[in-house]
Structure 1
Amino acid sequence: MPKLNVLVAGSTGYIGVQLIKLLVKHSDVEIKYLCGKSSVGKNISSYEKSLSSKKLPKIVKYNKSFLNNIDLVFTALPNGEAQNISNDLLEHNVLIDLAADFRLNKASDYLKWYKLKHRSVKNIKKSIYALPEISGDKVKKFKIIGCPGCYPTSILIPLIPLVKKNLIKIDNLIIDSKSGYSGAGRGVHNKYKEKNLYESLSAYGVGFHRHNSEIQQEIENYTKKNFSFTFTPHLTPMFRGILSTIYLDLNNGSNIKKIEDTLNAEYSKSRFVNILKTNSLISTNDVINTNNCSIAICKTKYKNRIIILSAIDNLIKGGAGQAIQNMNIKYGFNEAKGLI
C-alpha cells in the first residue's frame, strides 16, 4: 500500500511540532509539505532539535496547488484559518483540524464563542467532532475531521458513558481543570510575562472559556436536555499535561460500583483509556508523553457524591496523538500505530 502523502499547516507551534514528532514514526505516512508563515525557509529542527536527523522538507508558505499532491492535510493553525483551507479541498483530500474550526455544529455557536464569522459553513455538515473512543469508525464517512480541545478530551471521556446510562445528575456539575502552559501556545510566555508563569498557578477564562461550548454540545447530544455545569481552567507552572477534577452527584439507584462497571465496560477494548482502582490518586506524570487517558473514581464523605480524576497529555491525547488516532481509524490502520 502506498504511503499517505501529508501536509502539516501550522508546523512550528507546540502542537504542530508534536504532530511531526509522531508522524515521522508512522511507517504509512510521508510528510510532503511543512507550512508556516514567519518560519518560511527554515528547517523544522530550528524548533525541535530531535528532528534534525529526520529527512523533512523545509517550511514553505501554504499554496492550494499543494493539494494536488497530497492525501491528507493536518491543520494546527490559529482558529479561523483551517476554514480557508477546507474551501480549497479537492475530492481526494481529507482534512484533520487540531484547532476549533470544525468542533461546533452551528456557525452561530462558533461566532458566539470565538467571535469570528465562520467562512466555511457548507463544510460544517461535511465534518465530524471526532473523539476517537466515542466516534470510532464514524470518521470513515467524513472528509473533514474536527479534533476535540484538550480540556474537553479529559472531561468527555469519563462523562459521556455515565450520561448515556443516566447514572449522574446533570444539573450542577463542577469541573476544575489544570493544564501545562503549552496549552496556551508559544505566545503564552509574553502574555503572562508579568504573572510569574513558571512559579504560579493562574485561573483564566472563568465561567466563559471557549471549551464550554464543546462540553455543552457533546453532553447534550445524549441528554437531549439542558446540561448545567461550571468549568474553570487553570495554567500551571509545568510545560505539559492536564488533570481534570470533576465533582458530580449520583442519580437515585446509582452507586460507585455502577460508575466503575460502566466505565470499565465502555473502555474495556480501548488501547488508550485506563480506568484505575477506586481512590487512586493520579497525576499528570502518569500520562506525560503518551496518548493515554487515566481515570480514577474517588469516594467522598457524601454517599451520593463522587469525584472523578482524569489525566492526559494535552499535546498528545489532547492534540497531536488524538489527530493521528483519528487518521489511523479513517484509513484503516492499527489505531495505535505511531502512538506507542
Structure 2
Amino acid sequence: MIKKLKKVSIRFILLFKKVNLIWISLMVFAVLACIFSNNILSYLGDNVKSKKFKEYALEIHDYKLVMDMFDKRITYGIAILLIIILVLSVISRFIKEKKEEIHILAQTTFKESQFELNENREIIIDINLNVKSEVPNIDDLNFKEKMNALVCRQDSEVNSFKNKINNKYDYGYMGISHTPFILRFGSELGDGIKLIPLHKKRNDKFYSILNKKKEFPELKIIKKISNIDSRELIISIATTNEIKDYQLYEFDIENKNLIMFECEVLGFDVIESEIQLNNYIEIILVNIRNIIKNNNIKKTHLVISSSIAFTLALGQRLTNSYDREIIIYNYGYIPAKDNKSKDIYYPWGINLFKAGIDCVIKKT
C-alpha cells in the first residue's frame, strides 16, 4: 500500500515538470508584492540596471494589477496555491523519472530491425535470437537439417523465457522473421502469456503499441470450397498483400477443402488496433474449426500475408487439441524448371506441433 502510494505521489509531482518556472515565479512575486509591499516594484524598476530584470519587473507589475482587483482573502488563497505549485515544480526537476519496463523477446531470421519503442518505457531485451546469418538458402543440400536445428534453438529459448515470466512486468515481441518462425514462436508461448501487441510501421524506425480503436476494415471470406472426400484444408489469410488463387495451385486446391480470408483494405500497416487483431483471429478460428469438425480434417496447410503482431497472436491461439496438424508455409517464388513442373510460391514450411528436430518440410 505504501509502495503504491509513493508511486502515485511521484507521478503526481512529475506532472509539474511541464510548468514554466519563470512564469510561476513571476506570478508568486506579483502576489507577494500585493500582500507585503506596493512600492517594491516601482523601486526595482527605477533603480536596477539590468534590462532583462526590468522586463520581469514590468511583467510582475502587470500581474499585480490583476491581483489588486481581488479581495485580500482571495489573494492569500491564490498566493498559497501558487507557492505550492512553485515548490512542486522545483521538486519535480530533481526527481529522476523511472520508466516502466517492457521486456522484449527479440528475434531476427530475415531482416535486421532496431529495437526501439515509441513509448515512455524502458526496453529490456530478455531474448535476442538473431540467426539471420545461419538461415540456409533453399538450394542448400542440408536445408532441412539446418532449419530444424534453428527451430530447436528457438523452442529452447522460448521455453527458457517462459520459466522466467512473472506478473511484475509487461512483455512484447520485436523483430523481423520468416512467417513460419513467428507462428511457431507464438505457438510455443501459448495463449497463457499476455504480450503487449507491438507493430513497426513500414517507414518508422520504432515500434508502437497497437491502439484500442473499435472501427477497422472488415475481414471477409472471399472463397470457400468444401470437399467432403478430402481430409486436408488449405487456409490463406491476407491483410498485407493479396494471395491469389494461382499461388495456391501447388496445394491442389480444387480437390481439397479451401477457405481464403482477406481484409477489405490491404496494406502493411492495416492492423493498428488490438481489438481489430483479436476480432480477425476470432473470425478465422471459428470458421476453420467448424470445417475441421464437420469435414473431419486431419491436416491443414496455412499461408499468411499479415503483420508480425497478428501472426504471433494467431500462433498463440492455435492448439493441436482443436486444430490438428498444421503446416505453416513461407512465401518464396520459385519458377517452374520445365513444362512438366509447376511454379512454387511456398517452397518450405514448419509443421507447427511437431518436435523441432523433424518439423521442417521442403517441396523442392
Superposition TM-score, scaled by structure 1 size: 0.22
- Bigger Rg, which one: 2
Bigger RCO (CA 8 Å, 6+ sep): 1
Structure showing the higher helix proportion among its residues: 2
